[in-house]
Amino acid sequence: MTVMTDRPHMLTEDFEAVARIAAREREGTRLEFIDGIIRSKAMPDGDHGMIIQWLTRICMQHRPELWLHPGQGIKAQEYRAGRAIPDAVLAPAKAFAGQGDWVDPAPILMAVEVTSWDSDTHRRDHVEKPRAYAETGIPVYLLIDRAKCEVSVYSQPNGRRYENTRVVAYGKDAELPDPIGITLQTEVLKDWVR
């Protein structure tokens, strides 16, 4: 009798080599390796960029010792075998100095995703990413869902999932709990909806 085990499609080192080649050969190609499966990440559009810009300003005003690092590749999931590219991560300004393409996630206080308009955005941003970031131990996951016009704040990772999730509609305040300690006034997000 053959027993099926959860094995990745390839080794993490092989994925990193493929991701480097893809990024070099095709401008804008960004690959992630979550749950042992390679996934492509959609290129951000202008409204996506405006949301990250808005969040960067807020973080700089309230937490000047931190920086919202956009598009930083991180070692994610259990045993750091996965590779993810959050739209941004909040961490100390010099947290990733001297590291390569995929950084140690230990200093990350918050991972941020802004939904794209591709077909797998729900699975990726609402299912796979929260699990991956919780397994990684990232204290807060902020998901800005442009299709639903909602902001989801995940907190209290237990190593498998986030214990607390709060969802608010655009226009309502979204509290980012400790260690962030910022309240987002989300009315402006209505300007960046299709």
Topology of domain 44-192 in CATH is tt1808, chain A (3.90.1570)
Contact between 151 and 189 (Cβ < 8 Å): yes
pLDDT of residue 3: 46
pLDDT of residue 118: 74
- Phi-psi sector, 28: left (phi>0), alpha (psi -120 to 50), beta: left
pLDDT of residue 180: 97
Alpha-carbon gap, residue 29 to 31, rounded angstroms: 7
The string over 51-77, giving b where at least 16 C-beta atoms fall within 10 Å of a residue's C-beta and e elsewhere, is bbebbbeebeeebeebbbbbebbbbbb
pLDDT of residue 70: 94
pLDDT of residue 60: 96
Quick: pLDDT tens for 109-124: 999 999 987 777 778 8
Query: Which residue positions in the chain have pLDDT lower than 50?
Result: 1, 3-5
Dig out the tokens for 182 from the structure.
Answer: 């910022």
Give the residue carrying structure tokens 């800005």: 144
**150 CB-near residues (< 8 Å, 6+ apart):** 167, 168, 169, 170
pLDDT of residue 82: 86
Domain layout of the chain by residue ranges: 44-192
Quick: pLDDT tens for 169-187: 999 999 999 999 999 999 9
